[in-house]
Amino acid sequence: MRKNKVIFIKNALILTVTGLLIRFLGMLFRVWLASAVGAEGLGLYSQVFSFYMLASAFASTGINTAVTRMVSDELSRGNHSGVKKVLKRCVAVTLSIALVSSAVIFFSADFIGAHFIGDERASDALKTLVISLPFMGVSSCFKGYFIARKKAAPASSSQIFEQLSRIALVMFLVSKTAKKGIAASCRAVILGDSLAEVLSCIYMYISYIVDKNRHLCNDNHSVLGYSVLSKLRHIALPIVSGRYLNSLLRTAENMLVPRQLEASGMTQSAALSVFGVIKGMALPLIFFPASFLNAMSTLLIPEMSEAATLGRDLKVKYTAEKCVHITLLSAFPLAVIFLYASKPLGLLFYKDTLSGEIIRLLSPIIPLMYLDSVCDGLLKGLDEQASIFRNSILDSIIRLSLIMLFLKELGLYGFIGIMYFSNAFTCCLNLFRLKRRAKMRIRWFKWLVYPFLFALSIGTTIYLILDCFSLNDIVFSLIFVSSTALIYLFAVIKCRLITREDLQ
C-alpha cells in the first residue's frame, strides 16, 4: 500500500511539474503569438482550432481512458500478451476513425471556412490540420498505456518535447509567412501544431517499444476474456460522444459568438479580437495554476476504477472528499489573486488592458472551473461516462441557446454572464452526481465558507495596502501573489482547515 502511495505521489509530482512547465512555456508562446499575429489573428486561429479540437475529439477522446482501464485490468491479471493485444486493437480503431475524420475535413474545408466560420481565410488552415489527427490518436493510446503502467515520465517528457517542438516550429513558420497576411500566419501556426503532434507520436512509440521490451514478457495468457471493441464502446463511446457533441456545439458557439458580438454593434475585426482575447489570452492564464489538479484527476482514474471494482466504498468516498476539499482550498485564493492582480497581469503578459479586464470578470468562477475539471476525472474513474456525457450536452445546448437569444442585445458582458451560468450549472451537476455515486459528504463551512472568507479578506487587505504605493506591474504582482498565498496558507493551517491527515 505504501509503495503504491509513493508511486502515486511521484507520478503526481511529475505530472504537476510537467503541467506547470508546459503551461509556462505556453504562456510565453501565447505572448509572442499575440504580438506576432495580433488579437484578430488569435481570434481566427481560435475558430480554426475549434475544428481542430472537434476532429481530435472524434479521433482520440475516450481512447486514452479506455486504454488505461483495459491495460490496468490485464496488468492486474499478469496478462502481458493481453496488454499488447489491447493496445494493438485500440491503435487500429483510432487510426481508422482519424483517417475518416481527416478526409471529411480536408474535402469540406472550403465549405466550412465560407459557411461555418464565415471567413474564407480559414480554409487552408483547416486542410493543414488533418495531418495531425492520425498521430494524435495513436499518441493517445500510448499515453493511456503509460498511465495504466503508473509511469508518468514517458507521457510527461513527450508533452514537454511536443511543446518545445511546437514553439520552435511555429516561430519559424510564422516568421516566414508574417508578411503574407493573417490567413498565412494562421495556417503556419496550425502546421506547426500538426508537425509537433507527429514528432510527439514518434517519441511515444519509441518509449513504448523500449518499455515493452523491458517489462512485457510473452506469457501464455493470450485470451482477453472480452471483446476490445465492446469494451471500447462501453468506456470510450460515451466519452467520445459527449466530447464530440460538446465540441460540435462549442465549435458552433465559437462561430456564433463573433457574429453575435458584431451584431451587437462591434466591427468584424473588433468582435474577432475580443473573442481572441477571451480564448487565447484570458482563459490560458486562468488555467495556468491548475496543473496539480489536472495531474491529480488524471492519475485518479485508474485508482478510483480499481477501488470501485474491488468494492472498496470507503476508499472511494475518502478519495473523492479529499480531492474536492483540496481543489476548493486551492481555488479560492487563486480566484482572489486573479481578481485583484488582473490588470497588472494582463499588462505584464500581454501588454493588453482588455485581457486584464476579462480576467477580472472571470475570476469569481475559477473555483467552479477547477472543481468541475476534478469531478470529471473522478467520475470517469467511477465508470460514470454516461452522466458526464448527459451533463455536458445539456450544458452546451443551454449555452448555445442563451448566446443566440441574448448576446446580440447584451454584447460582451452578456457572454461573460453566460459563462458564469454555464460553469455553475455543469459544476453542480457533476459535483452532486459524484456526491451520490461516491456517497460523499460535503462539508460546506470547512470546504467553502471559511476558505472563501479567508481568501477574500486576506487578498483585499493586502491589495489595499499595496495600492497605497506606486509599484510597477512586476513588483506589485510578485508581492501581492506571494504574500496572499503565504498568509492564506498560514491561516488555513492554523485554523485546521487542512491537516496532515488530509494530505495523506
Choose among 189, 220, 215: nearest CA to 30: 189
State yes or no: pLDDT of 219 exceeds 60.
no
Mean pLDDT of 28-53: 78
Main-chain dihedrals φ then ψ at residue 222, nearest 5 degrees: -85, -15
496: left (phi over 0), alpha (psi -120 to 50) or beta: left
Q: Which pairs count as long-range contacts for 206-209, CB under 8 Å and 24+ apart, including other chains?
A: 207/142, 207/146, 207/154, 207/157, 207/158, 208/87, 208/142, 208/145, 208/146, 208/154
Show the cell assigned to 289.
Answer: 495554476
Say yes or no to pLDDT of 229 above 90.
no
- State CA 330 to chain mean position distance: 17
Q: Give the pLDDT band of residue 217 (cuts 50, 70, 90).
A: low
User: What pLDDT sits at residue 236?
Assistant: 63
pLDDT at 489 over 70: yes
Q: Given this model, what pLDDT does residue 95 score?
A: 86
C-alpha to C-alpha distance for 454 and 487, rounded to whole angstroms: 9
Q: What is the spatial distance between Cα 343 and Cα 349, in angstroms, rounded to a whole number?
A: 10
What pLDDT score does 59 carry?
63
Domain boundaries, the chain: 1-225, 239-441
Sign of CA dihedral 439, 75, 231, 130: positive
Confidence of residue 292 (pLDDT cuts 50, 70, 90): low
Span 393-431, pLDDT tens digits = 888 888 889 988 888 888 888 989 999 999 999 999 999
For cell 467520445, what's the residue?
240
Top-confidence range, 63-77, 294-308, 455-469: 455-469
Q: Of 174-188, 217-231, 415-429, which gets the smallest average pLDDT? A: 217-231
Residue with the larger pLDDT of the pair 114 and 15: 114
Highest mean pLDDT among 60-64, 115-119, 489-493: 489-493
Residue 76, classed as helix, strand or coil, is: helix
Quick one: pLDDT at residue 1?
45
Burial (Cβ within 10 Å: 0-12, 13-18, ≥19) of residue 164? middle
* Contact between residue 363 and residue 45 where contact means Cβ atoms under 8 Å apart: no
User: In percent, how much of the chain has pLDDT > 90?
Assistant: 18
| Pairwise CA distance, residues 229 & 216, whole Å | 23
Alpha-carbon Rg for the chain, nearest whole angstrom, is 23
User: Which span out of 224-233, 256-265, 333-342 was modeled with the highest average pLDDT?
Assistant: 333-342
Longest Cα–Cα distance of the chain, Å, equals: 74
Nearest to 85 by CA among 286, 222, 200: 222
Whether 34 shows a pLDDT value over 80: the answer reads no
CA–CA distance, 245 with 319 (Å, rounded to integer): 30
pLDDT of 119 reads: 73
Mean predicted confidence (pLDDT) in 92-108: 85
Average pLDDT of the chain to the nearest whole number: 81
Q: Taking a C-beta distance cutoff of 8 angstroms, is the pair 119, 109 a contact? A: no
Mean pLDDT of 198-221: 81
User: What share of the chain in percent tops pLDDT 70?
Assistant: 84
- The pLDDT of 125-152, averaged and rounded, is 85
Gap between the Cα atoms of 65 and 21, Å rounded = 24
Nine cell digits for residue 427: 459544476
Average pLDDT over residues 116-127: 80
Q: Residue 139, Cα to own-chain centre: how many angstroms?
A: 17
pLDDT above 90: residue 304? no
Q: Which residues, other chains included, contact 473 with Cβ-Cβ below 8 Å and sequence gap of 6+?
A: 344, 345, 347, 348
The C-alpha atoms of residue 166 and residue 189 are separated, in whole angstroms, by 9
pLDDT at site 266: 85
Which has the minimum average pLDDT: 107-111, 226-230, 316-320, 352-356?
226-230
A 10 A CB-CB count for 374 gives: 26
Q: Report how far apart, in Å, the C-alpha atoms of 100 and of each of 34, 59, 144, 241, 243 are.
A: 33, 9, 22, 16, 18
Q: What is the pLDDT of residue 417?
A: 92
DSSP secondary structure letter of residue 79: -
CA-wise closest residue to 33 among 163, 167, 124, 127: 167
CA 264 to chain centre: 30
pLDDT at 500: 67
Q: What is the pLDDT of residue 296?
A: 63
Written as one letter, the residue type at 314 is L
Q: Report whether pLDDT(295) > 70.
A: no
CA distance 350 to 348: 6
Q: What is the mean pLDDT of residues 110-120?
A: 78
Per-residue pLDDT band at 381 (split at 50, 70, 90): confident
CB 333 within 8 A of CB 488: yes
